[in-house]
């Protein structure tokens, strides 16, 4: 026991001598050169907000999409009307889960049914109110063509390689407020910044070459308020809008305060050396999602659509966590059997984000569609009154027949 104790004391004395310590400090350890990062795993409890759950322009937008698609089919017809046979087999294309004829009859304020000149089939045309709204929509496309193209330019520039497949852009046309036939003439009908390129595997894409520096909405507002000088990697605060009754723990508030002081990386800047698990990278993801939603008509999008863009925008695999970890920036609505991400700033500060040129027209379409319920309700009332009137007349005739049978022999057929 004594010998073992002595050996232990000798080892401790050797390792505590200055020459050994100097030798240890001179070693170049690999982990000292790795990028430093920190990630706080915080949990944000979702809280329902009735204000964002009752915005008609957001939650009726997806319902309006097939209505506008069918409206465009009728407008594209040279006659201004179409037989039901033209669209009866295209339910999947318009995201209609049942018969197209039934869908058209659900909205008499938009579609008017009549008997066509051929084959005695049901034909459909637009109501005068729908024609007026369509003309207004086409005026927006003409008058704000540059604004709409600029939104598409920003959307493409947010991608990793400044180019996106045409099929991806086509799936986002509704959110960007572009017409359905926008990509029909991609070879010569687009702006000067666009170029059609090959993406591999037989896919064509749209590339953007623009040397001018583009500022995000957050950078523009910070520059206007004087807290941003226009440089890169400056600490810019992301606007926060807490929901009523949403309380965060002290640990989360401290983390959020430090998160706001981190450098802001613009979604239009390429940062390949940014560590993906760092808080700076997370702030860039939040800023990119903020900028993405600011380009859309309703400043909202289905969360599954963002997951489809993950590969092309360079987003992390668990990008949906960014919506959940930042409830002061985004709100997740669970209406309509889907999850919709809403940018709070667009509805809490009207001066912060410029309204989309097509937003007012969409709202008018939604109000026109709502009138269909009143029309159908009035039709049912008239049918019920007509049926009850026929029933009363039948009862009166039966009573007369009974009186006739009592006095004389009646004829029966």
Residue 177 · residue 148 · CB < 8 Å: yes
208 and 220 inside one domain: no
- Positive or negative, the CA dihedral 47, 49, 54, 58 is negative
Q: Provide the number of structural domains found in the chain.
A: 3
Q: Specify whether 133 is located in the same domain as 197.
A: no
- What integer pLDDT is reported at residue 183 of this predicted model? 87
Q: Residues, the chain, total?
A: 413
Query: Read out DSSP for 346-397?
Result: HHH-TTTSPPPTTHHHHHHHHHHHHHHHHHHHHHHHHHHHHHHHHHHHHHHH
Which of 183-192, 227-236, 260-269, 293-302 shows the lowest mean pLDDT across its residues? 183-192
**330-376 confidence digits (pLDDT tens):** 999 999 889 999 999 999 998 999 999 999 999 999 999 999 999 99
386 vs 239, residue with greater confidence = 239
How many C-beta atoms lie closer than 10 Å to residue 152's C-beta?
Answer: 24
Give the domain-ending residue among 107, 139, 171.
139
Whether residue 126 sits in one domain with residue 206: no
| pLDDT value of position 412 | 32
Given the structure tokens 């493409």, which residue do they identify? 156
- Please state, in angstroms and as integers, the Cα–Cα distance from residue 8 to each residue in 4, 13, 18, following that order: 6, 9, 18
340 vs 128: CA distance, rounded Å: 33
Which of 28-32, 226-230, 295-299, 375-379 shows the lowest mean pLDDT across its residues? 28-32
CB neighbours (10 Å) of residue 331?
A: 23
The angle formed by the CA atoms of residues 383, 388 and 392, to the nearest 5 degrees, is 150
- Domain membership of residue 112 (yes or no) is yes
- Percent of the chain at pLDDT exceeding 70: 82
Are residue 337 and residue 227 in the same domain, yes or no? Answer: yes
Query: Given a cut of 90, is residue 106 above it in pLDDT?
Result: yes
Residue 188 has a pLDDT of 63
Q: Do 207 and 224 belong to one domain?
A: no
pLDDT for residue 284 is more than 90: yes
Quote the CA–CA distance of 105 and 122 in Å, as a whole number.
11
Same-domain status, 235 and 305: yes
Residue 205 domain flag: yes
Say if residue 105 is in the same domain as residue 66: yes
Instruction: Mark whether 254 and 157 lie in a shared domain.
Output: no
Domain assignment of residue 22, yes or no:
no
Give residue-wise pLDDT tens across range 222-233. Answer: 999 888 888 888
- Half-sphere exposure for 239 (CA within 13 Å, toward CB): 21
> What whole-number distance in Å separates Cα of residue 316 and Cα of residue 64?
31
β-strands 203-208, 330-333 pairing: unpaired
pLDDT band at 276 (very low <50, low <70, confident <90, very high): confident
How much is the pTM? 0.82
Residues 71 and 196 in one domain: no
Could you tell me if residue 79 is inside a domain?
yes
- Cβ atoms of 186 and 196 within 8 Å: the answer is yes
Average pLDDT of the segment spanning 9-32: 46
Pairing between strand 111-115 and 194-200? Answer: unpaired
Residues 221 and 306 reside in one and the same domain: yes
Residues 220 and 340 in one domain: yes
Residue 385 lies in a domain: no
Same domain, 118 and 221: no
Q: Which domain holds residue 244?
A: 214-356
Question: For residue 401, is pLDDT > 70?
Answer: no
Residue 251 burial class via C-beta count within 10 angstroms: exposed 0-12, middle 13-18, buried 19 and up = exposed
């Amino acid at each position: 026991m004594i010998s073992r104790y002595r050996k232990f004391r000798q080892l401790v004395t050797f390792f505590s001598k200055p020459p050994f310590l100097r030798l240890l400090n001179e070693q170049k350890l690999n982990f000292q050169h790795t990028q430093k990062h920190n990630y706080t795993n915080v949990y944000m409890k979702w809280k329902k907000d009735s204000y964002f759950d009752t915005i008609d322009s957001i939650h009726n937008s997806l319902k309006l999409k097939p209505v506008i698609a069918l409206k465009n089919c009728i407008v594209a017809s040279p006659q201004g009307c179409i037989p039901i046979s033209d669209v009866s087999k295209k339910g999947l294309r318009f995201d209609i889960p049942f018969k197209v004829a039934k869908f058209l009859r659900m909205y008499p304020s938009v579609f008017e049914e009549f008997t066509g000149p051929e084959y005695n089939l049901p034909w459909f045309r637009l109501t005068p109110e729908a024609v007026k709204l369509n003309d207004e929509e086409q005026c927006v496309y003409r008058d704000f063509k540059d604004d709409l193209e600029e939104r598409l330019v920003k959307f493409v520039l947010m991608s990793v390689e400044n180019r996106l497949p045409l099929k991806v852009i086509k799936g986002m046309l509704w959110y960007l407020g572009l017409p359905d036939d926008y990509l029909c003439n991609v070879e010569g009908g687009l702006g000067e910044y666009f170029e059609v390129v090959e993406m591999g595997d037989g896919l064509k894409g749209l590339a953007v070459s623009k040397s001018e520096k583009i500022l995000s909405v957050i950078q523009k507002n910070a520059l206007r308020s004087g807290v941003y000088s226009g440089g890169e990697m400056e600490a810019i605060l992301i606007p926060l809008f807490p929901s009523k009754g949403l309380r965060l723990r002290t640990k989360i508030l401290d983390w959020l305060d430090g998160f706001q002081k981190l450098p802001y990386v613009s979604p239009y800047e390429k940062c390949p050396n940014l560590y993906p698990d760092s808080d700076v990278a997370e702030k860039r993801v939040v800023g990119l999602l903020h900028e993405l939603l600011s380009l859309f008509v309703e400043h909202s999008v289905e969360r599954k659509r963002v997951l489809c863009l993950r590969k092309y925008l360079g987003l992390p695999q668990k990008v949906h966590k960014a919506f959940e970890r930042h409830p002061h920036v985004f709100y997740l609505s669970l209406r309509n059997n889907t999850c919709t991400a809403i940018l709070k700033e667009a509805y809490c500060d009207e001066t912060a984000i410029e309204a989309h040129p097509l937003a007012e027209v969409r709202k008018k379409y939604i109000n026109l569609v709502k009138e269909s319920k009143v029309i159908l309700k009035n039709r049912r009332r008239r049918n019920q009154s007509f049926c009850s009137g026929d029933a009363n007349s039948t009862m009166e005739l039966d009573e007369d027949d009974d009186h006739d049978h009592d006095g004389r022999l009646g004829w029966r057929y």
